[in-house]
Amino acid sequence: MESLIMRCTVFNVLFVLLTCLNLCFSARLNPDIIIRSRDGSQQPATPSLCAIMVQIYEYPCEEHVVTTPDGFQLPIHHIPHGISGSTGSSQATVVLQHGLAQGAENFMLNGPSESLAFILADAGFDVWVGNTRTTMWSPGNVELSPNTQSYWNWSFDQLISYDLPTMLQYVYSTTGNKIHYIGHSQGSLIALGALSQDTSLTDLFAASVLLSPVAYLNNSQSIFAKDAADLYLDKLFDLAGIQEFNPLQGIGVKLLDLVCASANFACRAFWAPSTYLNYSRVAYYMQYEPQPTSTINIRHYAQMVRSGLLQKFDYGTTGNRLQYSQENPPIYDVSKIPSQVSLLLAYGGKDALADVTDVQKLIQNLNCQVQTLFMPQYGHSDFILGTKANEDVYQPIIKYLRANSL
């Protein structure tokens, strides 16, 4: 039996690998494969998230756009108050930051009764929801076209150095208030990276909540993450000259369908396992997620899985010498996050990506003020899309934020 399972596993791996090679090089020879949507139609112009997901519920919403030092235009969606309309000078400011292959909609997809953005607004917070570069809500770059290689030449290093500081500085200067930050998955990673390398950002934060915090991935059980790393699919993308990874277009659709079919988990690679996800809504979620990211960013995550380290992008020995003046990439040393920083880490016992062992390693390495909220039955997306998240997670978060607003 074991030998049969091994033969089947090897066959599946080879099948996925060979199919990926075929898809990658087909995409390279046929550029049109990566610029059309799942149904073959051209993508529409940048839509208004405020109109689509916020104002339909009669919540106020403003769309602000900031520009990073390298020219990317990032929309920030502002919900100044809830339905009650209560505002005031004492109103605490909250910034929400999404995860990998997602956008600001992630905090709104389940409507006012279950989505964190609305729940915080109704609780009296001044809510700002950020987007990193290349989400479906992002206008683009002031100089670069999405059809150029330079447009996609980034990883989460640039989100740490450019995107997050730009958004935080804008919100801070606009409101005059210190920021209560809530980041999910990649949103937690870039906060940890930013605070570890630029301690001046500490002055902008009142407190931070990290949901499904990602800092180390060597124990990750995510099928998508492990397969991408073990099969070096990230390097195949690079070899094929593919800069954009978009799971809802062209090669991304084909690869997602392939993985979902071979693993038989109904396209749950980006959500599962989730205990409290309403799977009847997955078709709706997939109208908006997953969203485009760069293949270099995917490579960076694959490097994290293989190395077990939270470090800058590894360009190889020669490339690292040119980029960093050293053979190995610099580490994002979370132990250097200043002691006055207050963090609440909320993590789940069934999170396949942010494994409990990896989160506990992060907690041990932190020297700042740390509180934890452990949810034994929660998977990675339950903290954002789970039907019980309001009661289990959001109300404790509100209590924590209020305690740190005094």
Whether 380 is a known active-site residue: answer: yes
The rounded distance, in Å, linking the Cα atoms of 170 and 179 is 11
Q: Which of 77, 184, 300, 380 is catalytic?
A: 380
Whether 185 is a known active-site residue: answer: yes
Say which amino acid occupies 350: K
Q: Nearest to residue 186, comparing CAs of 217, 208, 212?
A: 212
- 3-state per-residue secondary structure call for the chain: CHHHHHHHHHHHHHHHHHHHHHHHHHHHHCHHHHCEECCCCECCCCCCHHHHHHHHHCCCCEEEEEECCCCEEEEEEEECCCCCCCCCCCCCEEEEECCCCCCHHHHCCCCCCCCHHHHHHHCCCEEEEECCCCCCCCCEECCCCCCCCHHHCCCHHHHHHHHHHHHHHHHHHHHCCCEEEEEECHHHHHHHHHHHHCHHHHHHEEEEEEECCCCCCCCCCCHHHHHHHHCCHHHHHHHCCCCEECCCEHHHHHHHHHHHHHHCCCCCCCCCCCCCCCHHHHHHHCCCCCCCEEHHHHHHHHHHHHHCCCECCCCHHHHHHHHHCCCCCCECCHHHCCCCCEEEEEEECCCCCCCHHHHHHHHHHCCCEEEEEEECCCCCCHHHHCCCHHHHHHHHHHHHHHHCCC
Q: Nearest to residue 273, comparing CAs of 215, 355, 344, 211?
A: 355
Where do we find the tokens 């030092």? Answer: 69
Q: Which of 115, 138, 155, 185 is catalytic?
A: 185
Q: Which of 234, 351, 355, 392 is catalytic?
A: 351
Tell me the catalytic residues.
Answer: 185, 351, 380
